[in-house]
Amino acid sequence: MAEISATLVKDLRAKTGAGMMDCKKALAETAGDLEAAIDWLRTKGLATAAKKAGRVAAEGLVAVAVEGSAGAVVELNSETDFVARNQQFQDMVRSIAETAVKVGGEVAALAAAPFPGSGRTVQEEITNAIATIGENMNLRRAARLSVGQGVVTGYMHNSVAPGLGKIGVLVALESAGKREALEAFGKQLAMHIAATNPQSLDVASLDPAAIERERAVLSEQARESGKPAEIIAKMVEGRLRKFYQDVVLLEQTFVIDGETRVAKAVENAAREAGAPVKVTGFVRFQLGEGIEKASDDFASEVAKIAG
């Protein structure tokens, strides 16, 4: 049997919220395979979801910028939250987002683009800031959305300054309708996305691997009920529909009113705007998602929890 390290148990516990002994058992049952252990815990009802992002730990800022019918969102990481409150750092992140609106969301191209008013590239400006502020920084990612006709709306949840914060969202709405109505709905939809963190725009664009993984987990759960195969198949399809309602934007319940499907809310927005509305894309960046935090050793952590 594969050796199960304390660090592996800790990682599984952080990703699933399951108990320490359950995590150890799951890893033992799956020969130390972390992803398989997550699924094992889910089939036993000991973890509600595979929280792939893990613990959000990186510091820095997310910035959103919109200009005309295009917008961009970027993430610049730093070592401490103290730097994120530095005015020089904030101004730099905001300018990088504005540059991304013009040059696009490919990080290498953005890093090589001229930084406004400095005579340096974006990467050189970051390097200069590292020397000045005295802390390591990293341009982690960027994305850009645009429409031929319509609006791109940006939203920053709990902003620390205009366009800067920890959760930034862009939404692209293609429409010939009234701009004021489109912008109002775009902001509502961006707020919804900030709150619900959907995985895809529609069912067709959901990662097939994610669907098959969910189907496998649901099938195993259903088989444990002991019901006939045809009943199990219906149970799985019903639970898959619930899965889509959880992770697919157009299938979710609109948080603004708590009852309307987002797809229906888009139809309602089209009536307000006076023309058809199509959501062509969205981006949601949460600061540090997917980056694991450097922490104390597992024994120390357990001792702290024990009191």
Taking only the tens place, the pLDDT of each residue in 207-227 is 888 888 888 888 887 777 777
Rounded Cα distance, 277 and 1, in Å: 56
Q: Which two tokens stand for residue 112?
A: 């090589």
CB proximity list for 71: less than 8 A, separation 6 or greater: 64, 65, 101, 144, 145, 146, 152, 153, 154, 170, 172
pLDDT digits (tens, 9 = 90+) for 37-71: 888 888 877 764 444 333 333 699 999 999 999 99
pLDDT for position 185: 98
Per-domain residue ranges for the chain? 1-52, 59-200+257-286
Closest Cα partner for 214 from 226, 228, 200? 200
pLDDT for position 275: 98
- Tell me if the domain spanning 59-200+257-286 has CATH number 3.30.479.20: yes
pLDDT for position 55: 34
Q: Are 56 and 233 in contact (CB under 8 A)?
A: no
What pTM does this model have? Answer: 0.74
pLDDT digits (tens, 9 = 90+) for 3-36: 788 888 888 887 777 778 888 888 999 988 888 8
- Mean pLDDT split into 10-residue runs, the chain, 307 residues: 79 79 88 88 66 51 97 94 91 98 96 94 92 88 97 95 96 97 97 96 90 83 77 81 91 94 97 97 93 53 48
Closest Cα partner for 48 from 248, 259, 247, 257? 247
- CATH architecture of the domain covering 1-52: Orthogonal Bundle (1.10)
Rounded Cα distance, 2 and 205, in Å: 37
pLDDT for position 54: 36
